[in-house]
Structure 1
Amino acid sequence: MDSISRTLPASWFCSPALYQLERRAVFLRSWHFLGPVTRFQNRKETIIYEIAQVTIIVENTSPESAGITSEGIIVYAKDKTRQIKYHLTPSGLLFSTLSLDTPPFEEYFAGLEALTNTVDFTKLPHRRSISYTGRFNWKTMIDGFQECLHCQYTHPTFSKFYPPTFYSVTNHQTFSQHIADPSKPSDGLFLYFFPICTLNVYGGGMSSFRTCPAPEPGMSRMEFDYYHNGTEEEFEEYFKFVRQVAVEDFELCEKAQQGLEGGVYGEGILNPVKENGVLFYQRRVRECVYKQFEVEKREKEVREEEDKVAVNGLEVGDGGVVAVQ
């Protein structure tokens, strides 16, 4: 069978060295979704994010009278020596980089704004954010989000509203759109932004999560943001529903990571239709890491060659090392 249909080996979910390479190859070269402008509606609150050990800060400096707009929102790295870029879509979604080693937003997320511009993300106010640590690699969580084969058995409540029989994933350059029913593409908006962010609009509200990697490859920090325009009672009902799905996924991921680290699972085959979302993102991870490895390998070879030239240009004499004329 074609090798591209195979999963990433278990070592990619467990190796500290691979994570560090992944950090340079993937995270420092990607755009990351931070939230809609309503996440920053409180002018007195500074929002702090940490992604792949880089801290970035978002502030809304616009006057309260300006309402919820993109004006006045600024993003910067906590490390003043690190330069980053950020972008606000016309629909009100904020994205940021962790470095300058990224292509322009329009190039990285080609075609995304044509999709997100169909929704006004300034209408749903931010209601709650939660964060906690999980014992799993960031890719273990993305594996689960990018397919719905497990939904019927793991998410019975969700499956009542969105039967997995019809579930499909359409992949683009750096994002995926999940469609619960292909005959009703406007029923819910489920988006995955490579590498670790999601945006889900369904059930009368909106939620997003980031799976932030820890330096230890078997750990991640889950960050959830919830938005809703209803009453407190209506929001709590929505929150209970979406949290149930998240808790079910969390438990599944911790069990899966145990299997990866314990040698129970090494590598497997992915269904090119039902698991095309997993194929898409894992392939991109593999391509980014391989490319970075080759770049760093060439840089190392150049340095070693320069060191050889420098050594060959020296001669050891009684008085020490002198240059050969």
Structure 2
Amino acid sequence: MASLTKTLPASWYCSSPLYQLERRAVFMKAWYLLGPVTRFQNVGEEVDYEIAQIRLTVRRNSKEARDIKVYASDQSTEMRSHLTETGLLFATISAHAPSFDEFFPDLKPLLATVDFTRLPYRRSIKYEGNFNWKTMVDGYQECLHCQYTHPSFSVYYPPTFYTVYNHKNFSQHVADPNKRDDGLFLYFFPNCTLNVYGGGMSSFRVCPTEKPGVTRMEFDYYHMESGDKFEEYFKFVRQVAIEDFELCEKAQENLEKGIYTEGILNPVKETGVVFYQQRVLDLVCSQHEKEKCLNSSHMASGNKYVARPRLVEPAAS
């Protein structure tokens, strides 16, 4: 019998040194969904972002549809960005990330199924929650909790046949494998989502703060309709978000109290969690080894080197 995959240890959800290692290993090497072109309609208007303590500014520089640039917050440096053919803007936060096509080699066919330039921007909200960024991603990447936690969502998308298809650095969620064109639900590693259904689109970013137990949630909403039609959609998707928020805060409490330490992931129903947690584990362990080797090299050469906080070796998954 094949060995079952363990979860990341609870300590990974509560450790400040571990988050700093995640920041270098994971966040500095990723691409992030910032939004469709409809989020940046007005020439000269600036939209600000902050991901893993790196601040960005997005600005449309002219009426040309694709003349949208991403800058460091001081406006002195243009950051690498990628605007897809169907109108979605992605960006990096450091020079350590690979090219967009290397990070998402098989994403374009899925994004080609939706014309994101036709979805008007309606509203954004943000707020902090008392949970680690991975606590929220854990919830998004599986639907075992959906029938209990999201009764209204489960009416439209029953979890009976819910399936997650994992690709390099992203996952596609499908409520019914026989109806793969019924909505588009995507998770972009490490912390962004995209949900297109019901005439609208929502996306959120799970933004870690310097405190491992506090995360900022940022939501953007788009819809073909305004007025009452949009408000009805907004009420529905906000209900789902609030249900997830409450569940994550309770889960984080248990992680910090030591009630839960480590467990086994369902090999059929939690493949999305296995996929992203393994990715975090691999990147963090690799970064940790590189920094240990660098530290040893500096010590051997007699150079002064301030070692980073020592971490407990990650448990094998």
Q: What TM-score, normalized by structure 2, do the two folds share?
A: 0.93
Q: CA deviation at 1:114?
A: 1.4
Q: Which SS does the other structure have where 1:122 is aligned?
A: helix
The alignment status of 1:123 with 2:118, answered yes or no, reads: yes
Q: Partner of 1:34 in structure 2?
A: 34
1:225-240 correspondence to structure 2 within 5 Å: 225-240=220-235
1:50 maps to amino acid: E
Q: CA deviation at 1:118?
A: 1.5
Q: Partner of 1:323 in structure 2?
A: none
Structure 2 stretches of 5 or more lacking a match?
305-317
Does the Cα contact within 8 Å between 2:16 and 2:210 map onto a contact in 1?
Answer: yes
Q: CA deviation at 1:305?
A: 1.4
Q: Partner of 2:310 in structure 1?
A: none
Q: CA deviation at 1:10?
A: 0.2
Q: CA deviation at 1:44?
A: 4.5
The alignment status of 1:49 with 2:44, answered yes or no, reads: no
Deviation per residue, 1:220-270 (Å, 9 max, x gap): 000000000113110000000000000000000000000000111100000
Q: Partner of 1:196 in structure 2?
A: 191
Q: Which SS does the other structure have where 1:128 is aligned?
A: strand
Whole-Å Cα distance in 1 between the matches of residues 134 and 81 of structure 2? 24
Whole-Å Cα distance in 1 between the matches of residues 70 and 252 of structure 2? 34
Does the Cα contact within 8 Å between 2:34 and 2:91 map onto a contact in 1?
Answer: yes
| Larger-gyration structure (1/2) | 1
Q: Partner of 1:264 in structure 2?
A: 259
Check 1:22–1:111 CA distance in 2 against 1; reply closer, same or farther (3 A cut). Answer: same
1:23-172 correspondence to structure 2 within 5 Å: 23-63=23-63, 66=64, 69-70=65-66, 72-79=67-74, 84-172=79-167
Q: CA deviation at 1:84?
A: 3.1
Structure 1 stretches of 5 or more lacking a match?
310-325
* Deviation larger for 4-13 or 152-161: 4-13
1:303 maps to amino acid: H
| Identity among equivalent pairs (%) | 63
Check 1:2–1:264 CA distance in 2 against 1; reply closer, same or farther (3 A cut). Answer: farther
1:23 maps to amino acid: R
Q: CA deviation at 1:28?
A: 0.4
Whole-Å Cα distance in 1 between the matches of residues 211 and 106 of structure 2? 34
Does the Cα contact within 8 Å between 1:83 and 1:100 map onto a contact in 2?
Answer: no
Check 1:43–1:293 CA distance in 2 against 1; reply closer, same or farther (3 A cut). Answer: same
Deviation per residue, 1:195-220 (Å, 9 max, x gap): 00000001110000000000010000
Does the Cα contact within 8 Å between 1:141 and 1:253 map onto a contact in 2?
Answer: yes
Q: Partner of 1:303 in structure 2?
A: 298
Does the Cα contact within 8 Å between 1:208 and 1:226 map onto a contact in 2?
Answer: yes
Does the Cα contact within 8 Å between 2:4 and 2:264 map onto a contact in 1?
Answer: no
Q: CA deviation at 1:78?
A: 1.5
Check 1:229–1:308 CA distance in 2 against 1; reply closer, same or farther (3 A cut). Answer: closer
Check 1:202–1:209 CA distance in 2 against 1; reply closer, same or farther (3 A cut). Answer: same
Q: Which SS does the other structure have where 1:132 is aligned?
A: strand
Q: CA deviation at 1:117?
A: 1.1
Q: CA deviation at 1:13?
A: 0.3
Whole-Å Cα distance in 2 between the matches of residues 98 and 306 of structure 1? 33
2:203 maps to amino acid: S
2:56 maps to amino acid: I
Q: Which SS does the other structure have where 2:263 is aligned?
A: coil
**CA RMSD for the aligned pairs?**
1.5
Whole-Å Cα distance in 2 between the matches of residues 250 and 308 of structure 1? 47
1:210-249 correspondence to structure 2 within 5 Å: 210-249=205-244
Q: What TM-score, normalized by structure 1, do the two folds share?
A: 0.91
Q: CA deviation at 1:149?
A: 0.5
Whole-Å Cα distance in 2 between the matches of residues 182 and 253 of structure 1? 28
Does the Cα contact within 8 Å between 2:4 and 2:267 map onto a contact in 1?
Answer: no
Does the Cα contact within 8 Å between 1:82 and 1:99 map onto a contact in 2?
Answer: no
